[in-house]
Each structure stands twice: as C-alpha cells, then as structure tokens.
Amino acid sequence: MLGTCARLLHLPENPVPDDKTYPNAPDSLIAHWDKRRGPMRPEPGEELSALDVDLTALKAKILPDIPPPLAKGASRHAEKEHELRTDLVGQSELVLLHGMLIAHMRKRRFPDHAPQLFRRIWVEHTPYLLDVLSTRWLISAVITFGEHGATASEQALGREMGMMFSMMKLYEFERLHSGKTPDEAFGLGRVKAELPLGMTPFSLATGGLDINLLAPVWQRAMDEPVMGALACRLLEQLNQDPGGLFRRIGKMRAKKQARIAARKAE
C-alpha cells in the first residue's frame, strides 16, 4: 500500500523517518485496523437467524436477565452474543439480532445473508427501532448502511454520516480536556495560529461551513427511502442537543454578530 501511495505522490519508497502522527502510515494504520476485523467464526448451532426469520416474533420476545458466565473457550460469536445479551437486558430478541448483524458485518467475512437481513429489519421495523435503540446503536446502524447499503445512495449517505459522527466523537472527546462542559461555548478571543494543512480560517460571523456540511446531508436523508428515517432522526437529535460543536458554534456566531451590530449602532 505504501508503495502505491508513494508512486502516486512521486515519493521515495523508503522515505527518511520524520515526525508523523502515525509512523509508517498507511501500512501501520491498515494493519491495526485489520486486526479488529477478524471473522466471528460461530460454532455449529450458533449461526445467525435465517433471512426469512419471523421478525415480528423476535420483536415480541424480551431478553431475560443477565445470562450466566460463558464457559472457557467460547467462540467469538458466543462472546459477542453474551456481551450484547448483558447490555440489552429488557430489550427484544430483534434488537439483539440487529446488534449481532452489525457485529458480524464489521468483520472481513460474515454470513452471506447478513446485509439482506439487516436491511429487511429496517424496511419492516423502522418505527420500532427508532423508538427503542439508543443513539449509539442508531449511529452504528448508519455506519453499517455506509458499508453494506443495498444502493449506492445508501452507502454514500451512510459513509458521509459515519465520518461526520466519528470526527465529532474524536473532537468532542478531546474537548473534554479543555475544562469546559459540552454546552459551554468558547469565548471570542483566540490564539494567532494557522489552521492545519494550510486551511483558510472560518469566518464566525458570516461563514456557512456548518450549514454547508449539514444541509446537503439532510436533504439526501429526506430523499432516502429505507435509511432516510434513521438518518433524519440522528440529524434531528444532533440539532436538538444542547451541547456539541454545532450548537456551540451557533452560540459563538450569535455573540459575534451581536457585537458587530452593537458597534454599527454606536
């Protein structure tokens, strides 16, 4: 992979080591990523439900209390199911199946029918899923559509939203170390420094980068027949959340615009 990128960029195959966030990228990144994608390898009798499983019956069957510990040597499939059964106590078998499908489909190999069954669940039970799934699982579902959507538009929307929420998670986690709560906007003063990669600065008073990011995604979500309701729900939740980058930028923009208006009125 490094050789391919080096040729495209006209770089030496073995560049002199220097300060990099990820040494030996992209090879080191891909190797680390790939380690987490080993197949689940269920044992006989542990297979996922068939494509024609009765989803309504699964929805009516509630998961019991926390299951007993697993025996040593259990398969990765059994370990994941035990983990989800523990986390999802009180939810339905349909929610468990949805989680197990996502877990399998994140791996290099998975049962052939898994993408079809995942999509069938959303085709037939979207209102139910939107009512019972946590935001964590809704985001996982969007990412899964991005990787395994049945149409190019599903995949594109899922990947776009998955990237957005993943970058938000990284940024919002880092920001927790700033000493400010998620709903507390920064002041208008800032250090004099260049943005990474030589990017042009964002205009707080008149810039529309946040709107230019969200508007086309939301428009595509409204036009998407299967995953559209899921995507719109997440965007609505993002819009309503009192914390987060977009709400804080809105507060800062309003403060900046008020300050400009006050100066003009003087």
Tens-binned pLDDT, residue by residue, of the chain (266 aa): 555 666 655 555 555 556 889 999 999 999 999 988 998 888 888 889 999 999 999 999 999 988 888 888 899 999 999 999 999 999 999 999 999 999 999 999 999 999 999 999 999 999 999 999 999 999 999 999 999 999 999 999 999 999 999 999 999 999 999 999 999 999 999 888 999 999 999 999 999 999 999 999 999 999 999 999 999 999 999 999 999 999 999 999 999 999 999 998 98
Residue 217 · residue 157 · CB < 8 Å: yes
pLDDT at 150 (0 to 100):
96
Judge contact between 76 and 41, C-beta under 8 A. Answer: yes
pTM: 0.89
Picking from 238, 221, 215, the residue whose alpha carbon sits closest to that of residue 146 is 221
166: closest CA among 143, 182, 148, 184? 143
Distant-in-sequence, close-in-space partners of 115: CB < 8 Å, separation ≥ 6: 105, 148, 150
Length of the chain: 266
**pLDDT for position 82:** 94
Cα dihedral sign, 159-165-169-170: positive
pLDDT of residue 66: 86
Secondary structure class of 151 (helix, strand, coil): coil
User: What is the model's pLDDT at position 173?
Assistant: 96
CA 138 vs CA 61, 129, 148, 250: distances in Å: 21, 8, 15, 25
- Four-residue CA torsion sign, 87, 161, 193, 263: negative
CA proximity to 102, closest of 123, 117, 86, 83: 117
Contacts of 234 (CB under 8 A, 6+ apart): 135, 138, 139, 142, 161, 165
CB neighbours of 168 closer than 8 A, spacing ≥ 6?
244, 245
Give the span between the Cα atoms of 114 and 51, in whole angstroms.
8
Contacts of 248 (CB under 8 A, 6+ apart): 183, 184, 185, 186
| Site of tokens 């002199």 | 16
- The answer to whether 84 and 136 are in contact (CB under 8 A) is no
